[in-house]
């Protein structure tokens, strides 16, 4: 037993001796580092706001340690780029040793400053590595964009023109009795958790060829269709005469929230030819207000595409409401919900009648078994009507033969959109929405969202898009 113990001690001691022996740092001038990329690219970056951090991995592929004599930015301290080298912030470092078959990380960021230039500006630099006298470099490339910077401001009446993008940081508000007018082609970016509050009026004058775009400020490819990047619009009580034409709103939380102020003589919000997609909560949230919408697409929302609640009056013509949410989380709510009450802080029911919820030549469809639901307080008005609509409604919950509610609907007949994965809600050639719309509404809204006539074939299509057979561009 004692002899075995002695042998074990000898083995442990010998193993410890060799394991503690320090490997010699490689001196070969031909030894080179290997990198995860030869260029670190940044997508368009706004002045004053910095960027996402990019990472570069530096490898030692040898069986001996490799020492980097120096790492530094070619632009030095004047560079707009900044580094964190192996956990230490700074634009230079020396004598960085990488163990055998190991690596280090370098994190790269960039901050640009206003340059009063309307066009994109190319910014370049490089990281230089010297190892055993061997010089290697990695390129850094960024595109910079100057912006109109709005930081938590309350603004009066003004017009935003299409000279350079607008960036809203820490939200903004259009003051009472003031009007913000946004010209065609303007792009408005919102930083995380930022909103556009409207106490006065908002006029969006986009066009078919130059819509106004509202989106987040993360322009990396990864973020192109990620919801929840900014808050959305909030049309406050007392706001009036809001008009939005040819706008694209995407990747927010709630696209438009229009709050309590019913005006039956004129809509609080009139929205046309617009697209609201990829909202993590709701596309349009109406809270006891008046909304009129035409030629609009509302799709891919985490909860409701349309939530018309706490009463109000709502009209939708030639609209496509399509909710196939499911890429990010599951959805247990319908595309469209109507509700004529709310619970106050004392858990008492408060009636809020919906005087009108009308859908003419509309598609209401999605991935759930029923995409249209009502939550009604008995004895309280909830007037709704669907006329010439393609729907997905549970017939166990509704009497679809009730002509006062459902006047010519095509239930559970797939509208066959071009690509729900790409949020392309144009109609395929076999769509159930083709040529089935009511002519009365098509005569009023005779052009679709792309400017195509609804009156040139066998009948107007249902929804925001008119299918044109033989057009290879659609």
Q: What is the pLDDT of residues 382-432, one digit of tens each?
A: 999 999 999 999 999 999 999 999 999 999 999 999 999 999 999 999 999
Tokens of 327: 């890429």
Which region among 141-150, 201-210, 279-288, 313-322 has the lowest average model confidence (pLDDT)?
A: 141-150
Q: Alpha-carbon distance 138 to 133, whole Å?
A: 16
Find the mean pLDDT for residues 206-223: 90
Question: Does residue 308 surpass a pLDDT of 60?
Answer: yes
Question: Does residue 152 surpass a pLDDT of 60?
Answer: yes
Tokens of 372: 């249209």
Find the mean pLDDT for residues 210-229: 89
Is the dihedral angle over the CA atoms 256, 258, 264, 269 positive or is it negative? negative
The pLDDT tens digits for 84-95 are 999 999 999 999
> Do residues 144 and 112 make contact, with C-beta atoms less than 8 angstroms apart?
yes
Q: Alpha-carbon distance 150 to 174, whole Å?
A: 12
Question: Does residue 3 surpass a pLDDT of 60?
Answer: no
pLDDT at residue 18 in the model: 45
Q: Alpha-carbon distance 365 to 335, whole Å?
A: 7
Cβ within 8 Å of residue 246, ≥6 positions away: 184, 204, 205, 206, 207, 208, 210, 211, 212, 272, 273, 274
- Mean pLDDT score of the chain: 90
Percent of the chain beyond pLDDT 90?
A: 77
pLDDT at residue 264 in the model: 64
Question: Does residue 329 surpass a pLDDT of 80?
Answer: no
> Do residues 182 and 207 make contact, with C-beta atoms less than 8 angstroms apart?
no
Cβ within 8 Å of residue 169, ≥6 positions away: 49, 149, 150, 151, 152, 191, 194
Which region among 113-127, 210-224, 238-252, 300-314 has the lowest average model confidence (pLDDT)?
A: 113-127
For the stretch 192-204, what's the b/e string if a residue is b when 16 or more beta carbons lie within 10 angstroms of its beta carbon?
eebbbbbbbbbeb
Q: From the CB of residue 9, how many other CB atoms can be counted at a distance below 10 Å?
A: 10
Find the mean pLDDT for residues 27-38: 92
Q: pLDDT-based confidence at 32, cuts 50/70/90?
A: very high
Q: Alpha-carbon distance 73 to 80, whole Å?
A: 10
């Amino acid at each position: 037993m004692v002899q075995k113990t002695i042998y074990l001690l000898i083995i442990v001691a010998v193993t410890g001796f060799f394991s503690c022996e320090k490997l010699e740092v490689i001196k070969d001038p031909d030894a080179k580092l290997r990198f995860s990329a030869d260029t670190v690219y940044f997508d368009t970056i706004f002045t004053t706001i910095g960027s996402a951090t990019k990472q570069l991995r530096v490898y030692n592929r040898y069986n001996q340690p490799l020492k980097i004599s120096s790492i530094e930015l070619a632009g030095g301290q004047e560079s707009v780029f900044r580094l964190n080298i192996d956990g230490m912030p700074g634009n230079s470092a020396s004598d960085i040793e990488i163990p055998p078959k190991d690596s280090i990380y370098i994190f790269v960021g960039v901050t640009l400053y206003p340059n009063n230039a309307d066009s994109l500006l190319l910014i370049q630099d490089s990281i230089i590595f010297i190892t055993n006298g061997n010089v290697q470099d990695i390129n850094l490339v960024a595109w910079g964009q100057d912006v109109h910077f709005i930081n938590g401001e309350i603004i009066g009446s003004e017009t935003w023109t299409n000279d350079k993008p607008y960036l809203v940081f820490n939200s903004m508000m259009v003051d009472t009795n003031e009007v913000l007018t946004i010209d065609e082609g303007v792009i408005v970016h919102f930083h995380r958790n930022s909103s556009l509050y409207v106490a006065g009026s908002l006029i969006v004058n986009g066009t078919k060829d130059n819509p106004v775009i509202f989106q987040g400020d993360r322009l990396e490819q990864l973020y192109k269709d990620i919801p929840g990047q900014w808050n959305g619009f909030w049309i406050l009580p007392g706001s009036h005469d809001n008009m939005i034409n040819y706008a694209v709103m995407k990747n927010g939380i709630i696209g438009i929230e229009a709050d309590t102020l019913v005006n039956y003589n004129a809509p609080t919000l009139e929205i046309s030819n617009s697209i609201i997609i990829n909202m993590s909560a709701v596309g349009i949230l109406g809270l006891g207000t008046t909304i009129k919408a035409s030629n609009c697409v509302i799709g891919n929302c985490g909860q409701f595409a349309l939530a018309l609640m706490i009463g109000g009056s709502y009209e939708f013509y030639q609209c496509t409401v399509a909710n196939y949410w499911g890429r990010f989380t599951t959805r247990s709510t319908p595309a469209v919900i109507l509700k004529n009450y709310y619970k106050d802080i004392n858990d008492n029911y408060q009636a809020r009648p919906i005087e009108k919820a009308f859908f003419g030549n509309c598609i209401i469809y999605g991935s759930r078994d029923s995409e249209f639901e009502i939550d009604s307080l008995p004895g309280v008005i909830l007037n709704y009507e669907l006329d010439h609509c393609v729907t997905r409604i549970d017939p166990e919950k509704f009497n679809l033969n009730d002509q006062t509610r459902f006047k010519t609907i095509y239930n559970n007949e797939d509208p066959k959109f071009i690509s729900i994965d790409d949020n392309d809600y144009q109609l395929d050639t076999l769509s159930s929405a083709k040529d089935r719309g009511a002519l009365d509404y098509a005569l009023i809204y005779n052009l679709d969202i792309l400017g195509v006539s609804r009156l040139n074939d066998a009948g107007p299509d249902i929804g925001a898009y008119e299918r044109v057979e033989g057009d290879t561009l659609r």
